[in-house]
Amino acid sequence: MSARMKRKVGAGKVAVIEPSENHYYQPLWTLVGAGAKAVSTSRRSTASLIPSGVKWIKSQVQEFNPDKNCVRTDDGKEISYEYLIVALGLKLHYEKNHYYQPLWTLVGAGAKTVSTSRRSTASLIPSGVKWIKSQVQEFNPDKNCVRTDDGKEISYEYLIVALGLKLHYEKIKGLPEGFNYPKIGSNYSVETVDKTWKALQDFKEGNAIFTFPNTPVKCAGAPQKIMYLADSYFRKTGKRSKANIMYNTSLPVLFGIKKYADSLWNIVKTRDLNVNLRHNLIEVRPDKQEAVFEKLDNPGETVVFEYEMLHVTPPMGPHEVLKKSTLVDEAGWLDIDKDMLQHKKYPNVFGIGDCTNLPTAKTAAAVAAQSSVLDRTISRVMKNEKPDKRYDGYTSCPLVTSYNTVILAEFDYNGQPLETFPIDQSKERMSMFYMKADVMPHLYWHGLLKGFWGGPAPYRKIMHLGMK
Ligand SMILES: Cc1cc2nc3c(=O)[nH]c(=O)nc-3n(C[C@H](O)[C@H](O)[C@H](O)COP(=O)(O)OP(=O)(O)OC[C@H]3O[C@@H](n4cnc5c(N)ncnc54)[C@H](O)[C@@H]3O)c2cc1C
């Protein structure tokens, strides 16, 4: 209609309110679902479809006010225009889902499907527990309540904050729109993980680049795991000699724990993988297949690489709702005691997982170990007793190094290996791959989410005959 209205009254008088960056030709999804077309063929960027000269207002309408010829948008603006087009369509009420994100490393490499990482949230909420299907918009710990996006105030006696973290693709120039082009993927989002697998399959000849951003991340091993899988895939499909594989990381090291880093350096050398330390991705030019990196040790200096495949690990940070609350430290993470997981200022608030400022690597394995400590801490606080169980910072990263090998890194707050098995876990092992691909998902769905799995500490003791 905007094209028709432009022809009728001139572009200057017409505006379109549309929040989405992409527009889809939905009828094609019948064929996409049957594998006859790719989703990307049904997608165009909204920018390319708005007629030139017509104003595009990238917001959501929150309120219609036809008596005053205006609408109010989600950023609080009142908009009036001579001819305004708002074409809302209809709403699909999908069931909300929860994902076992660690599996996405294997999904991006074509070894698992997204659907195996998904369960409906409804099936995971313990029976009898109330599920409030809203987003928290504001924390008010001084009044013991939160406000949700539907404007309700919900009060609590005890609050456990487990918000996870926010992915910031938009902090890289050219993204997220760049994902509309082929050759780019990211295992970090359910929206883009399949694009990694597509980019791997479509690879012909050139640079395959894998990035690590200049922020804290969840699963610090995942940005390089997909590189090892790509290397294996190219070898399997006879393309390895045509691929120049690069790992461009903001960090000054390949991995934070020396024992495992030494093994990984060995692997990158023997497999001819190029590691560029202190290189931070700042721009993607998907039309030219170029990626721009800043050299963190030479401020102001950048380097441009052409790519045939690009895997992006986005910058990450705390959610805005948390950052603007009184619950956080200077960096915006939930400010809790590193031993007991209780909030430093509000004793009836607790935290777990990626949203916290616990000085350990952010992983699901860490969440499991934290869950048993938090269980104990809360039980004691409820009885007016002092918490007594301490979290040692246990975290784990199964470093997938091929389609059948893993180095199982496990360590604590001090960066000291805290290994479950009485073998050298810095070696690549097939047994650890099956642990990662098949055993850990079960532990997650049937152990951690049911409140039975609190990390491997008791088994570590047994395996080491009580010595660890
Ligand atoms: C590619 C990849 C590979 C990984 N590999 C591993 C691995 O091998 N091993 C490992 O242990 N870990 C791995 N991880 C990390 C692991 O998945 C995370 O550390 C873990 O899921 C963190 O759990 P969480 O509960 O803190 O956050 P999440 O699982 O992200 O959950 C946060 C929840 O908060 C909800 N939420 C957000 N905002 C609001 C709001 N305003 N109001 C209400 N609810 C809100 C979200 O909907 C979500 O349900 C990997 C992650 C990725 C992406």
Confidence of residue 84 (pLDDT cuts 50, 70, 90): confident
Nearest CA to ligand 1 atom 45: 163
- Which residues contact ligand 1 via a Cβ below 6 A? 101-102, 104-105, 135-136, 162-164, 187-188, 218-219, 222, 319, 321, 353-355, 362-365, 367, 396, 398
Give domain status of residue 202, yes or no: yes
Residue 86 has pLDDT above 80, yes or no: no
Residue 334 has pLDDT above 70, yes or no: yes
Give domain status of residue 352, yes or no: no
The Cα 158–Cα 161 span in angstroms is 10
Name the more confident of 219 and 70: 219
pLDDT score, position 77: 83
Residue 29 has pLDDT above 90, yes or no: no
For residue 182, give the CATH number of its domain. 3.50.50.60
The kind and range of the H/E element at 27 are none
Residue 200 has pLDDT above 50, yes or no: yes
Range of weakest confidence among 71-80, 128-137, 243-252, 288-297: 71-80
Give domain status of residue 240, yes or no: yes
Instruction: Report in angstroms the alpha-carbon separations of 266 from 229, 275, 398, 410, 436.
Output: 16, 12, 17, 19, 22
Handedness of CA 316, 320, 322, 326 (dihedral sign): positive
In this structure, are 206 and 310 located in the same domain? yes
The fraction of the chain above a pLDDT of 90, given in percent, is 78
Domain boundaries, position 25: 2-80
In this structure, are 389 and 454 located in the same domain? yes
Residue 349 has pLDDT above 60, yes or no: yes
In this structure, are 178 and 292 located in the same domain? yes
Task: Output the CA 453–ligand 1 centroid distance in Å.
Answer: 17
Residue 36 has pLDDT above 90, yes or no: no
DSSP 8-state symbol, 313 = P
In this structure, are 75 and 207 located in the same domain? no
Catalytic-role residue among 70, 145, 219, 355: 219
Look at residue 306 and give its three-state secondary structure.
strand
Give domain status of residue 335, yes or no: no
Does the annotation mark 355 as catalytic?
A: no
The Cα 327–Cα 345 span in angstroms is 8
Residue 93 has pLDDT above 50, yes or no: no
Are 292 and 285 in contact, with CB atoms under 8 Å apart? yes
Task: Output the CA 305–ligand 1 centroid distance in Å.
Answer: 31
Confidence of residue 83 (pLDDT cuts 50, 70, 90): confident
Residue that terminates a domain, selected from 54, 80, 106: 80
Residue that terminates a domain, selected from 80, 95, 127: 80
In this structure, are 363 and 313 located in the same domain? no
pLDDT score, position 90: 63
Instruction: Report in angstroms the alpha-carbon separations of 168 from 59, 280, 309.
Output: 19, 14, 20
Are 414 and 393 in contact, with CB atoms under 8 Å apart? yes
How many separate domains does the chain show?
3
In this structure, are 174 and 310 located in the same domain? yes
Residue matched to tokens 């990390």: 455
In this structure, are 6 and 75 located in the same domain? yes
Range of weakest confidence among 25-39, 74-88, 357-371: 74-88
Could you identify the atom of ligand 1 that is nearest to the CA of residue 121? 49
The Cα 84–Cα 271 span in angstroms is 58
Residue that terminates a domain, selected from 283, 317, 351: 317
Give domain status of residue 93, yes or no: no
Whether the bond into 176 is cis, omega within 30 of 0: yes
Q: Count CB atoms within 10 A of the CB of residue 220.
A: 22
Q: Count CB atoms within 10 A of the CB of residue 66.
A: 7
